[in-house]
Structure 1
Amino acid sequence: MEWSLCWFLLPLGIDLTKFMKYKKHVFICNNQKVAPKKSCGEAHGNELVDAFKAALAERGLLKEMRAQRTGCLDACAFGPTLVVYPEGTYYGNVQLSDVAEIVDSHLVNDQPVERLKLDF
């Protein structure tokens, strides 16, 4: 299923997990912009990808969940940013120290980390 279709189906309450390979899919922005513009890649977005992958591996979740790099999520002012699907929950100003909490609370226990959520 294309991700663009998710924006149409999510509000309808359709269970997207039926169509997904992974139970949870984390897209972490690592976009690079020319200074002085702020960008997630410059603000440890690349390190976040590695930290999420390591956290999932440590918990034996790599077959159920995936973390990967992505381009710009259009939330540069709040970077580094990421989005978790199938919910479409955006997080901003994510630090390396937040990774375990996001994995354990949101990815494993379906409880978003409210203090990091971006509401658009």
Structure 2
Amino acid sequence: MPAFSHHVFVCGNVRDPGHRRGSCDPSGDGDLRDAFKKALKRAGLSRTSRANHAGCLDQCEHGPVVVIYPQGIWYGGVTEQDVPRIVSETLVGGKILDDLLIPDDCLNNPDCPHRA
């Protein structure tokens, strides 16, 4: 079996409704990760790319958050509707989606303007 070319980590952290930092998977159902798994299979990538549930990625204000390794691409505000585009344009095409990208200066920055 070939090595994985992409690991897609989908934050599944659940917080109470109305929490000041938000929640990446408020219903706790894992639908976003499941959407990635299905899209990877449809694209023929299920042997070389993996969608994984992740605990808190500590970028809550940008949630739902997805990080793609080894490329180190951090996407925020990801919805199930974004998944096919992420798979086709980023994983297959190598294109970074600027509308979803969390800016480097916001990652792990307590002074990021998005933090509550």
TM over 0.5: yes
Partner of 1:51: 35
TM-score normalised by the chain length of structure 1: 0.78
RMSD: 1.8
**More helix per residue:** 1
Verify the 8 A CA contact 1:44 1:80 in the aligned structure 2: no
Taking the TM superposition and a 5 Å limit, the aligned residue runs for 1:14-93 are 21-37=3-19, 38-42=22-26, 46-93=30-77
Instruction: Provide the aligned length of Structure 1 versus Structure 2.
Output: 101
Partner of 1:105: 89
Alpha-carbon distance between aligned partners in 1 of 2:102 and 2:70, rounded to the nearest angstrom: 16
Unaligned runs of 5+ in 1: 1-19
Identity %: 39
Q: Does 1:118 align with 2:102?
A: yes
Runs ≥4 in structure 1, deviation > 6 angstroms?
none
Alpha-carbon distance between aligned partners in 1 of 2:6 and 2:29, rounded to the nearest angstrom: 19
Deviation per residue, 1:26-56 (Å, 9 max, x gap) = 0000001233211101177821100000000
Deviation at 1:77, TM superposition (A): 0.7
Alpha-carbon distance between aligned partners in 2 of 1:114 and 1:32, rounded to the nearest angstrom: 26
The structure with higher relative contact order (CA 8 Å, sep 6+) is 2
Alpha-carbon distance between aligned partners in 2 of 1:36 and 1:80, rounded to the nearest angstrom: 15
TM-score normalised by the chain length of structure 2: 0.81
